[in-house]
Amino acid sequence: MRVLHVIPSVGHLRGGSSVAMRTMAHGLVQTGLAVDVATTDDNGHSRLNVSHSKPIVEEGVTYRYFRRQTRFYTFSWPLTRWLAQHVREYDLVHIHALFSYAAIPAAYWATRWKVPYIVHPLGVLNYWGMHNRRPWLKKLSYSLIEKHILRGAAAIRYTSQQERSEAAKLGIRQRSVIIPEAVDIPLNSVNFAPGPFHARNPHLADRCIILFLSRLDPKKGLDILMPAFAHVQVQHPRTTLVLAGSGEPAFVAHLQREATRLGIAPDIVWAGFLTGEEKWAAMADADIFVLPSYSENFGVAVVEAMASRLPVVISDQVAIHREIAEAQAGLVVPCRTKELAEALDTLIADNGLRTEMGINGQCLARTKFSPEAATQNLLNLYSDICAPPLQDAEHAVT
């Protein structure tokens, strides 16, 4: 079976879903599928340093990069031309993300050449995003474009029940499945020796570290995290908040001004975007992971933190909050400053509880959110969609 994945960006700066797509593609190749990825050179404010003239093979997956011509909407005419010429060569097309240009030609040419396609919305149909990110433009676009793309899909792949429930409010009744993201946990991450992050930040050696590792974006609940941390500082003055991530310069400047206003600027480390060993090192030396998002269709960084045996404090808008609460792997709070501060205070004051929740979270990450489980579920979905109709199968047997 030949499967084509179409996604606007696989750049790390675009967040966990782009990274998870790579993990998923690699897992599918290991099952014997031929997997190609058509994408752009987008990487947020910058571009990926990749070849546009020839495909790049990584871990058995063939990546084809096309030049991004506009950052907004990630428009790419070269990608459009390539899809028009090659979609018919595949058995299935897997489209990642909506409200982004790549989905339009992918769905159009798949329909034109009668190739079934799957849509993975990446959380953009959630209530918060539909009502807080260019709401009027999204409403118009959904009516004219996305609704029809979804109706033509052989299936919609959601990463959580919460994501599916919120999408249902838009009247989407297409066949759907829930398959969590494939989160790649390097073997050394679960036993990553503490020390490297402290070595780069020696002033944190005897402090309790609260780690936020995600994009610096209004959606992530930083407007409640910072005042919550200010409250925590009163009771626990030897606590540091590490903000690991990048964001729009104007918003980052706003956060820095807010930190100064709240009097917590000396107790915040602006670590910037971390990936690879730097990311795992930060998790190894942290004491608590926090993500109070207003909307999160999955939470790749949350799973990575749990795999690193970190107790987590998350909002009830992070889609996997029910699993975390049931496993007692962390504390779940509403998107309010008071409750967030209380949860952080509880974990800071109780080392035993932090250890217990960290162990529970590691077990949850290894079982519920393993890449092997996600890969097998996707393989089953692909096989079901591409299986010949029963009548055709009977004729083939006879």
**Same domain assignment for residues 331 and 308:** yes
* Residues 99, 11 share a domain: yes
Whether residue 105 sits in one domain with residue 24: yes
**d(Cα 319, Cα 3) in Å, to the nearest integer?**
28
Beta carbons of 214 and 245 less than 8 angstroms apart: yes
From CA 47, how far away is CA 71, in angstroms rounded?
A: 10
Distances (CA, A) of 386 to 38, 92, 286, 309, 382: 20, 7, 45, 40, 6
Amino acid at site 355: T
Q: Report pTM.
A: 0.90
Domain span holding position 336: 187-367
Q: Which residue has the tokens 């998107």?
A: 335
**Are residues 22 and 88 both part of a single domain?**
yes
How much is the average pLDDT of 346-360?
98
State the burial class of residue 193 (Cβ atoms within 10 Å of its Cβ: 0-12, 13-18, 19+): exposed
Q: Same structural domain for residues 74 and 42?
A: yes
CA distance 258 to 173: 43
CA 10 to chain centre: 11
pLDDT tens digits, residue range 105-144? 999 999 999 999 999 999 999 999 899 988 999 999 999 9
Q: Do 178 and 146 belong together in one domain? A: yes
Average pLDDT over residues 5-19: 88
pLDDT digits (tens, 9 = 90+) for 73-101: 999 999 999 999 999 999 999 999 999 99
Q: What is the DSSP letter of 63?
A: E
Distances (CA, A) of 160 to 165, 177, 197, 223, 311: 9, 9, 33, 25, 21
Residue 189 has a pLDDT of 53
CATH number at residue 351: 3.40.50.2000
Report how far residue 39's alpha carbon sits from residue 41's, in angstroms, rounded to the nearest whole number: 7
Q: How many domains does the chain have?
A: 2
Paired tokens of 311: 């107790």
Q: Are residues 25 and 144 in the same domain?
A: yes
CA angle, 385 then 389 then 394, to 5°: 140
**Residue 60 CA to its chain's centroid (Å):** 22
Say which residue, 202 or 213, is predicted with more confidence. Answer: 213
Report pLDDT digits (tens) over 222-240: 999 999 999 999 999 999 9
Quick one: pLDDT at residue 390? 52
Domain co-membership, 108 together with 64: yes
CA dihedral 311, 245, 190, 375 (to 10 degrees): 100
Same domain assignment for residues 173 and 198:
no
Half-sphere exposure of 371 (CA within 13 A, CB side): 22
Look at the block and give the residue holding tokens 């609704």. Answer: 147
Q: Which two three-digit tokens encode residue 172?
A: 């989407």
Q: Dig out the tokens for 97 from the structure.
A: 């993300």
Cα radius of gyration rounded to whole Å, the chain: 22
Q: Examine the domain organization and report whether 137 and 62 are in the same domain.
A: yes
Spatial contact of 335 and 294, defined as CB atoms under 8 Å apart: yes
pLDDT band at 344 (very low <50, low <70, confident <90, very high): very high
164 and 92 in a common domain:
yes
What pLDDT sits at residue 393?
Answer: 46
93 and 143 share a domain?
Answer: yes
